[in-house]
Structures are given as structure tokens and as C-alpha cells.
Amino acid sequence: MISKAVILAGGKGTRLVSVVQDKPKPMADIAGLPFLHYMILDLKKKGFSEVVLLVGHLREVIMNYFQSSYHGIAISYEIEAEPRGTGGFIYELARKWNEDIFLLNGDTYFDVDLASMEAASKSGDITLAVRKIENSDRYGALTISGDRIIDFQEKSWIDSGFINGGIYYLPQGCFDAYDLPFSFSIEKDFFEANKASLNLKPFYSSGYFIDIGIPEDYAIAQTTIPRQFIPQIDKTWTLFLDRDGVINEHRPEDYVKNESEFVWIEGSNEAIRDLSKIFGRIVVVTNQQGIGKGLMTEYDLEKIHWKMQNEAEWIGGKIDRVYYCPHLASVNSKCRKPETGMAEQAKTDFPEIDFNKSFMIGDSNSDMEFGNRLRMITVKIGKEGGNGGEVLKMKSLSDFPKLIMR
């Protein structure tokens, strides 16, 4: 399978100006993370090891965020010095690279089996991923005869029909027979204009599809896209939670040193109650160097945790075990996050724990690194921007049950 995918990431988002004012459209915020974040993670899940971003408008926003590697995927950039349309730029690259290309629109999320799409395209024909939709006037329908796309209709009301899903398999040399201008649209000026001579093949997919190009669908995407990265959870799954800033309120420039200073974040105790009905185990893993600094004793900390566990249980929840690391950061202890000692101890105590069927929810980059080292699904809590290695982001723990309870 092709290991490299190309994303058109230079869109301005003119129809989203009310929600995307100072960034390119593919960087539109979806539940606290850029739309491109989800596209790249989906490509990783499907076996790609490299993503090339075709950037132009406000490209530094994209390049500063994703840099040269993201979630283990190599990221590179091709910079559009002057506008060339969706076709001109990829035409130039296709001739330079001289290889087959998977091309994706940077404002559309479409869950397609890309390995099967590539396999179906071995004859060398251009292949378009297509999706059946009903009752919509946002798209132009395709006319398909047998295994060929023979026409492209203008946007109009569609009771039921197939549309272009914005993912293209472009075989090596597919542009060679055509004299194309410097700037052109790959859809209008290449596919549609040459529909008679191009053997355009449809690849049918019923996977989740959304185009974030208008505010209404952008609002829907805030919950529907993150849900694509949440598997079906049952009692074989484990939830790992950081404590301060996730379960209880932080004390600015201080530590929770006794029971009276432990204050639940609003809704977090109810969230633990709800999550206890879903997950087989809930485990807290927390760095507590206040002990190492002499600000409290281990007995003080255990009393805090007794209170937390008892109050969770009073309302129907359960925290199975609390693990803490009392050492100073300077000690470089194996138990201190992002080191994974606390999780490894939890697996010793509960052998049924499978890190590949676990979530880690925390509010710091070290929490995310802790979870990623063990291949957990990582969720970052808080209002700050992303790029700490998290898969999902949300404002508070209380948002998590709402997302996963379908």
C-alpha cells in the first residue's frame, strides 16, 4: 500500500469566517483540536507513515503546529508560493514525484478503506471515493454507469444519490496526456472537463462523512468527528485518571495537603459515577512531589484518597485503586509520570488490564506522554490549546461520559 498521503491544506474557509478568522480552514477547531489533527490520526490508523500537507494561506499556522512529526507520522510540506487552485499544485507535484498519489481535501472527513480503494485502482484509472447521500442541496450528484463516472451535475436538491467524497487515487502519469494551465480546479477543470476521455472510477464507501465548509455542519462535527476515535467500550476497558486538575481543583502554587483542601471539580464525581458503569476498572495515577518536599506525609495523602474514593462510592461510583509517586521531579523516579511505573504496578495488581484497551485522561503533556508510551487513547482536559500528543481534548471530565455514551 502507498505509505504517503497528500492533503490539500490551503483553504481560506470563507464560508466559515464567523468561526475561523485567523487560521486556514483545515485548522478549524474541532472539540479543542484542529480538523487536520483528526485527518492525520485517521491516516495513521489506516497504515500511512507520511503525510504531505500542501499549504499556502497562513501556512505558518499549520507548520508551527504539526512541525516535522505528529503522533509518529512524518509530516512534510509543499508550499504554494502563488495560488494555483486545487489542480495546479498537485499537477506540478505529480510530475515531480512520478508516483501514485492519494489526495484528500483538507475540509472533508470521510472514513474510507483506503487499502481497498488502492487495490481497486490497480488498472491505472483515477478513482474517486463516493458517498451516497439523501435529501441534501449542498453537493452536485455524480452520474455513474457501470464502473465509470460519466457526468458531474451542478449543485441541486438530491433526494438520493452519490457525491464526490473528496478523496482521490491519482495513478502515476494520469496528467501526462493533458495540456493544463498554471492554475486550475482538479474537480472542475480536470475531472469534469475531461470526463469523456478519463476513465474515472467510483469507489463506494458508506463510512462516516462530513464536510465542515458551512457553520451548520461545522457545529455538528464538534461531537461526531471525535466519536470516530472512540471504540465500543465495555467492561474489558480500563480508565486511567490523573488527579489534580481532572478530579479535584488545583491549588495555585500549592498542593492539596489535607482532606479539607480536596475540592471536587464541578461534575467530576458524577462523571466517575457514570464512567464506573462503562469501564471495568478506574485507576488514578498521580504525581505527588509535595511529599518529597516535606509539605505533607504519605498518611496525609492516603487520607485524602480515602475521602475521594469514599465520596465517589457514596454516589454510586468506584475508583479501584490510587497510585501515587511521592518523589521529587529531580529524582527521575520510574514511578513519576511520564514514566510508566504506576501503570505497570496497576497491571501487576490487576493482570486483566490491557493498555491497548485503556484511556488516559490528564491535564498535562506528561500525562499524555505517559498514556502514549503505553499506547492508550489519550484525552487532555482543560482550556489550553492542544499539541501535547493527545488524541482527544475536552474542557472537563464531565464532558467525557457525554461523548462516549451513545
- Residues involved in catalysis: 242, 244
User: At a CB cut-off of 8 Å and minimum separation 6, what does 206 contact?
Assistant: 131, 132
Q: Report the alpha-carbon distance of residue 111 to residue 266 in Å, rounded.
A: 36
Return the number of other C-beta atoms located less than 10 Å from residue 316's C-beta.
Answer: 13
What ranges make up the beta strands (E) of 71-126?
73-79, 101-105, 108-110
Return the number of other C-beta atoms located less than 10 Å from residue 275's C-beta.
Answer: 22
Q: Report the alpha-carbon distance of residue 53 to residue 319 in Å, rounded.
A: 43
Q: Buried (b) or exposed (e) across 70-85, using 16+ Cβ within 10 A?
A: beebebebbebeeebb
Q: Report the alpha-carbon distance of residue 13 to residue 26 in Å, rounded.
A: 8
CB of 282 within 8 A of CB of 345? no
- Cis preceding linkage at 26, omega within 30: no
CB of 363 within 8 A of CB of 243? no
Pairing of β 127-136 and β 50-55: unpaired
DSSP letter at 248?
B
Exposure of 104 in the CB half-sphere (CA atoms within 13 A): 25
Whose cell is 474537480? That residue is: 187
Pairing of β 392-394 and β 377-381: parallel
Kindly report the CA angle at 65 between 330 and 72, in degrees rounded to 5?
A: 70
Q: Report the alpha-carbon distance of residue 200 to residue 15 in Å, rounded.
A: 29
CB of 304 within 8 A of CB of 298? no
C-alpha cell at 200: 474515472
User: At a CB cut-off of 8 Å and minimum separation 6, what does 15 contact?
Assistant: 213, 214, 215
CB of 106 within 8 A of CB of 9? yes
For 113, counting Cβ atoms within 10 Å of its Cβ (0-12 exposed, 13-18 middle, 19+ buried), the class is middle
